[in-house]
Amino acid sequence: MVAMFNFMKKNPTKKPETPEQRAARDSAVDKVLLGYEVGTVSIATMITGLNREGSQLTLDLRLPQNSKPETIQQELGQLLHPHGITTIHMNVRLPAPGKGAGSTLPKPMPKTTNAMDSQSNAAANPDSNNNVEPPITKAAPTQSSLAAHPRIRHIIVVASGKGGVGKSTTTVNIALALQKLGNRVGVLDADIYGPSMPTMLGVADVKPQLENEQFVPVDAHGMAMLSIGSLLDGDNTPVAWRGPKATGALMQLYNQTNWPQLDYLVIDMPPGTGDIQLTLAQRIPVTGAVIVTTPQHVALLDAQKGVEMFNKTNIPVLGVVENMALHTCSNCNHTEAIFGTGGGEFIAEQYHVPLLGQLPLASSIRAQVDKGEPSVLADDEFAPYYLSIAKNIEANINKFAKPVDDKRIF
């Protein structure tokens, strides 16, 4: 059954937001949704669609049978109003009652356009709920219900709560390190808005082939790699897509690719805890997540939110990588903790997960990925750091492996 609720009437037209204001508001809205729970379950796992237009927010939700949409809508409205959301539309679908509960249709709900007018609308339109959709009896998918990919043993996501912490550089070097340890490795660039894997692996000009309506991954130093960046016309082509289109692109890259037999598929995630992360948690069988952070206090705050998101979506956190931990001056050899100390250790201890490794702040690490030859590939002085991280990942990952469904057909 579908019903639409508005929290309150629109405010008068306001001055258009700047991109910075929009980004700040969207981030605040995401944090509210991630933290709001229906019973003991985060509402983020019940969202099947989300759209923001100015001060309006539209949510498509699959709610549990005994939930109260009006209460949820009112509480969310109160939480989101300080962040500029003055109107909430909720397209709600409830499962059918169990056997012996009477009608096979969901419990009728008032169909209103304004929460303050709901009672008067219901009285004036007693038959407004006659035209209902068939009930949805299947809950939104969870990690425990997702079967493993038939040709991929482990899927690892590398994530960070914020940008600028060296997540993509760490991802590409971890993937190469796992390959150097004798594994068959693939890389999926899920950073739809800022794809960098093709450049970092030196295959920016290589386009994937199509075979039987499936992408053939690009061969990047022996690894199977696919990125939205490989499909764009140029490096300066922007990906200006709303959330549903971006998440659709991610699922197409994952599902419509003829991945070879892999021990590991390493996914480079975009920063933050938004639509792409939630879609991945509901639709891709992830073995575990690696969190990348710097020791800086602000980065740690966002990294903690990333850990919490994975905890709420039942994705194990394999460990934490502390990037840019120490810098050694190339002139005087003085070592300094530019971004602080102990950040990675603090998160590891707080959430009882391993500290997989600490990486130095070195210009040559950046220079190597800029020219398409990451440190592990170049076998430079920093390659052992990434090899150590890869060994620590391998040491504990098997206990998180998902059962393989050999009968899956694409």
322-360 residue pLDDT tens: 988 877 677 776 676 666 677 778 888 888 899 999 888
Instruction: Say how far apart CA 125 and CA 127 lie, in whole Å.
Output: 6
Residue pair 71/63 in contact (Cβ under 8 Å)? The answer is: no
Q: Which CATH class is domain 19-124?
A: alpha beta
Instruction: Report d(CA 383, CA 358) in Å as an integer.
Output: 12
Quick check: 410 pLDDT over 60? no
- Token couple for 181: 């340890």
3 state DSSP class of 87: strand
For the segment 11-35, the average pLDDT, to the nearest whole number, is 70
pTM assigned to the model: 0.63
Tell me what percent of the residues of the chain surpass a pLDDT of 70.
76
List, as one string, the DSSP characters of 335-356: EE-TT-SSHHHHHHHHHT--EE
Note whether 42 and 125 are within 8 A (CB).
no
The answer to whether 301 and 161 have CB atoms below 8 angstroms apart is yes
Percent of the chain with pLDDT over 90: 26
Locate CATH 3.30.70 in the chain: 19-124
The pLDDT of residue 37:
85
Determine the 3-state secondary structure of 308 from DSSP.
Answer: helix
As a whole number of angstroms, the distance between CA 390 and CA 338 comes to 25
- Between strands 218-220 and 223-227, the pairing is antiparallel
pLDDT at residue 404 greater than cutoff 60: no
CA distance 49 to 58: 8
Indicate the pLDDT class of residue 247, thresholds 50, 70 and 90.
confident
Q: Quick check: helix, strand or coil at residue 406?
A: coil
Report how far residue 99's alpha carbon sits from residue 97's, in angstroms, rounded to the nearest whole number: 7
For residue 22, what is the enclosing H or E element?
helix 19-35
CATH 3.40.50.300 location in the chain: 147-400
pLDDT band at 261 (very low <50, low <70, confident <90, very high): very high
Q: What share of the chain is helix, strand, coil (3-state, %, to 5)?
A: 35, 20, 45
Amino acid of residue 74: Q
Lowest mean pLDDT among 86-90, 97-101, 217-221, 328-332: 97-101
Ranking 122-136, 151-165, 386-400 by mean pLDDT, the lowest is 122-136
Look at residues 50, 47, 19 and name the one whose alpha carbon lies nearest to residue 242.
50
Secondary structure (3-state) at 174? helix
Q: How many helices (H) and strands (E) does the chain have?
A: 12, 17
Q: How far apart are CA 195 and CA 268, in angstroms?
A: 9
Of 64-68, 125-129, 228-232, 347-351, the range with the lowest mean pLDDT is 125-129
Model confidence over 101-121: pLDDT tens digits? 443 333 333 333 333 333 344
Q: What is the mean pLDDT of residues 234-238?
A: 59
CA distance 218 to 350: 39
Report the pLDDT value the prediction gives residue 111, as an integer from 0 to 100.
38
Residue 234 reports pLDDT greater than 70: no
Question: DSSP letters along 242-263, please?
Answer: -HHHHHHHHHHHHHTB---SEE
Q: Which of 60-74, 117-131, 357-371 has the lowest mean pLDDT?
A: 117-131
Topology of domain 147-400, CATH = Rossmann fold (3.40.50)
Please check the confidence at residue 374 and state whether its pLDDT lies above 70. yes
Q: Which residues pair with 50 in a beta bridge?
A: 59
pLDDT at 304: 83
